[in-house]
Amino acid sequence: MLDPQAKYLLELVVASGLPPFHLLSPAEARETYNKRKQATQAVPVPVAEVENLTMPIQDGTLGLRLYRPVHAAGPSEPALVYYHGGGWTIGDLETHDVLCRDLALQSGCIVIAVDYRLAPEHPFPVAVDDALAAYRWVRSRAGELGLDPDRLAIGGDSAGGNLAAVVALMLRDAGEPLPRFQLLIYPATDMRCVAPSHTTNGQGYLLTSDTIAYFRQHYIEDARQWSDWRASPLLHPNLGGLPPTLIITAGYDPLRDEGRQYADALSAAASPAQYICFERQLHGFITMGKVLDEANTAVSLCAQAVKRALHQ
């Protein structure tokens, strides 16, 4: 059954009369997403340091935000590079501020959130290029940031989980040092949207097939690119040699099955992978700790996995 708290949340959404994202312009959807978070996200917890950073890119600069959970215990601390969700179209550093703070405090690791550029203004593969550039930038400046370049992880939720998975593949294919760990929270792994859960969970559970199509259309203008592995990491011909991965999914999520398929494909290719499905939850639940108790359980689970991977 659907978690009772999630069911109540759905009822509130219906009663509110708020239009779904796919009926809004991207600008309106971004504003709505930022406003909605106030109803479902807890008060941000204090951390020792929050620092807004900028890095150069070809067309200007990219924003990042560093969360230091405690005052530096040594010259080089482990860190998680994190990519927010939002269908590559909405979301930013603010929508995932609470989650990043919680992950930092509970893992004891620095978290660096990446404000990659969004579609439709910046369609595929701009977000991919930004995500890869950000990871490389963080690693190259580990010394000045107080990070250990050999104890880095990458992660993200939904679209951000997609980007994290793709970055790991690109680093491996380029022969570059890999992160120690991947945290993929209900990741999008197959832009063709052919997994059964896209049908069984396609309507009625916050993220709908209509909204997925809306995000996908903004991100990828040419349907022929759906099969590009930089958009659909599940379709990469070689998923071996990747870092240990934890994949979290939600039972009432259209993306559930492609997350499980990615975990299975990693395991089949001998890449270490663990898979956990929160069977009674919705897509996006991990940022809703104010109203969903299981969100807080999931955050703690993710943080402990990052801690184990990076503090060894």
Q: Count of domains in the chain?
A: 1
Q: What is the DSSP letter of 20?
A: P
Q: What is the pLDDT of residues 219-248, one digit of tens each?
A: 999 999 999 999 999 999 999 999 999 999
Cis peptide before 120 (omega within 30 of 0): yes
pLDDT at 298 over 90: yes
pLDDT at 264 over 90: yes
Position 71 confidence tier, pLDDT thresholds 50, 70, 90: confident
User: What tokens does 81 get?
Assistant: 């590079």
pLDDT at 152 over 80: yes
Position 299 confidence tier, pLDDT thresholds 50, 70, 90: very high
Q: What is the DSSP letter of 243?
A: P
Confidence (pLDDT) at 307? 98
Confidence (pLDDT) at 130? 98
Active site includes 158?
yes
| pTM summary value | 0.98
Confidence (pLDDT) at 95? 98
Per-chain mean pLDDT for the chain: 97
What b-and-e string marks burial along 178-210, b requiring 16 or more CB atoms within 10 Å of the CB?
bbbbbbbbbbbbbbebebebbeebbeebbbbee
Looking at residue 78, its amino acid is P
- How far is 261 from 190, CA to CA, in rounded Å? 9
Q: State the residue range of the domain holding 133.
A: 4-310
Which residues are registered as beta bridge partners of 64? 53, 114
Give the DSSP H/E element, type plus range, for residue 61. strand 60-68
Q: What is the pLDDT of residues 192-220, one digit of tens each?
A: 999 999 999 999 999 999 999 999 999 99
Q: Quick one: CA dihedral 228, 229, 234, 240, positive or negative?
A: positive
Active site includes 283?
yes
* Annotated catalytic residue within 3, 115, 130, 158: 158
Position 143 confidence tier, pLDDT thresholds 50, 70, 90: very high
Q: What is the DSSP letter of 125?
A: T
Confidence (pLDDT) at 56? 96
* Annotated catalytic residue within 84, 96, 218, 283: 283
pLDDT at 73 over 70: no
Share of the chain above pLDDT 90, in %: 95
Q: What CATH number is attached to the domain comprising 68?
A: 3.40.50.1820
* Annotated catalytic residue within 236, 253, 257, 271: 253
**Residue 146 backbone zone (phi > 0: left; psi -120 to 50: alpha; other: beta):** left
Confidence (pLDDT) at 64? 98
Confidence (pLDDT) at 169? 99
- How far is 138 from 147, CA to CA, in rounded Å? 9
pLDDT at 142 over 80: yes
The average pLDDT across 100-121 equals: 98
